[in-house]
């Protein structure tokens, strides 16, 4: 069996996708954490874009999260996490890209420099989740009874919202019962819970507190408390 080493910082949502995927497949792997503010020389030599995640496969390297997940899906043993049907597989890949767009909007939300920008970004996120509400079926997972790679893509987003919920009620996910049920199901999945360090939320709030954004003040208060 190949030796997998997943390289990341301690907060990266994209790395969580691969960690969840490997856990779902029952594939052993190691985690190497780095500080992106002080990238070690060895990491810069193996990561052409200087970003995480990076997957070391023996002596070889795969970079970019979508490529890493597709490589794992094609080569690792265990249950397939993409549908066998080509159309269903393509549709789920599209929703994985949609999850990536939400992560970009989440970044804009917590980095918004003032209340005006913050409220605009809040509205953008709410619109994204309304579209997700319309795309979800009966559950518990995105496409029904089988947990898939698309679910691994959405799980880290809701983990971020667990942090936001400690800061206030921003109403972004209000009146979306399917999204609420999906979020709860993902939170209860072992592979999702185990994809991050045990004190992830405390680290995330400390990170937010240092952003100098509109939300940073609330995070700083929570950290101080």
Active-site residue, 69 included = no
Residue 159, Cβ density class (10 Å: 0-12 exposed, 13-18 middle, ≥19 buried): buried
Catalytic annotation, pick one of 11, 12, 179, 195? 12
Q: What is the DSSP string of 151-202?
A: HHHHHHHHHHHHHHHTT----TTTT-HHHHHHHHHHHT-HHHHTTS-TTHHH
**How far is the CA of 211 from the CAs of 97, 111, 117, 160, in angstroms?**
26, 7, 15, 15
Tokens of 18: 């691969």
How far is Cα of residue 127 from the mean position of the Cα atoms in its chain?
19
List, by residue number, the catalytic residues. Answer: 12
């Amino acid at each position: 069996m190949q030796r997998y080493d997943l390289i990341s910082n301690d907060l990266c949502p994209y790395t969580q996708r691969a960690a969840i995927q490997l856990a779902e497949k029952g594939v052993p792997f190691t985690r190497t954490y780095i500080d992106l503010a002080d990238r070690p020389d060895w990491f810069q030599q193996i990561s052409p874009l200087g970003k995480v995640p990076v997957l070391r496969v023996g002596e070889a390297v795969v970079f970019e999260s979508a490529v890493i997940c597709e490589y794992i899906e094609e080569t690792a043993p265990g249950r397939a996490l993409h549908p066998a049907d080509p159309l269903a597989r393509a549709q789920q890949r599209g929703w994985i890209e949609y999850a990536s767009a939400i992560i970009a909007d989440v970044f804009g939300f917590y980095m918004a420099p003032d209340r005006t920008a913050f409220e605009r970004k809040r509205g953008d996120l709410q619109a994204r989740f309304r579209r997700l509400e319309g795309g979800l079926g009966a559950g518990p997972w995105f496409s029904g009874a089988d947990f898939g790679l698309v679910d691994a893509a959405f799980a880290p987003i809701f983990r971020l919202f667990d942090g936001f919920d400690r800061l206030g009620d921003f109403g972004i996910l209000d009146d979306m019962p399917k999204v609420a049920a999906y979020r709860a199901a993902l939170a209860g999945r072992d592979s999702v819970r185990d994809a991050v360090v045990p004190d992830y939320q405390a680290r995330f709030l400390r990170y937010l507190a240092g952003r100098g954004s509109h939300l940073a003040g609330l995070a700083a208060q929570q950290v101080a408390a």
